[in-house]
Chains A and B, each alone.
Chain A
Amino acid sequence: MAKASTKSGAVAERRPALAGREIAAAAVRVAVLPPAERISLRAPAGSVSALSKALGLTLPTKPKTSASKGGRTALWLGPDEWLVIDEAGKSPVADCAPVKALHSAVDISHRNVALAVTGSGAEATLSAGCPQDLSLAVFPVGAATRTILGKVEIVLLRTAPDAFRVECWRSFSDYVFEFLGEAAHDAAA
Chain B
Amino acid sequence: MLLIRCPYCEEELPELEFRNAGEAHVVRSSHLADVSDQDFEEFFFIRTNPKGIIYERWRHIHGCARFFNAVRDTVSDKFLMTYKAGEPKPLLVSEPAKTAPAKPKAAAKPRSRKGDA
Contact = CB atoms under 8 A, between A and B. Distances in A.
Interface string B8-33: 11110110110000000000000000
A146 B62 contact: yes
Given A64-B9, A78-B8, A79-B8, A131 B1 contact: yes
A59 interface: no
B64 A131 contact: no
Residue in B10, B11, B13, B63 with the greatest tally of chain A CB atoms within 10 Å: B63
B16 A131 contact: yes
Contact of B10 (A63, A131, A132, A147): A63
Residue in B11, B13, B62, B65 with the greatest tally of chain A CB atoms within 10 Å: B62
Nearest to B6: A63
Contact of A81 (B1, B14, B17, B64): B64
Contacts of B16: 131, 148
A79 B64 contact: yes
A132 B15 CA distance: 10
Interface of B: 1, 8-11, 13-14, 16-17, 62-66
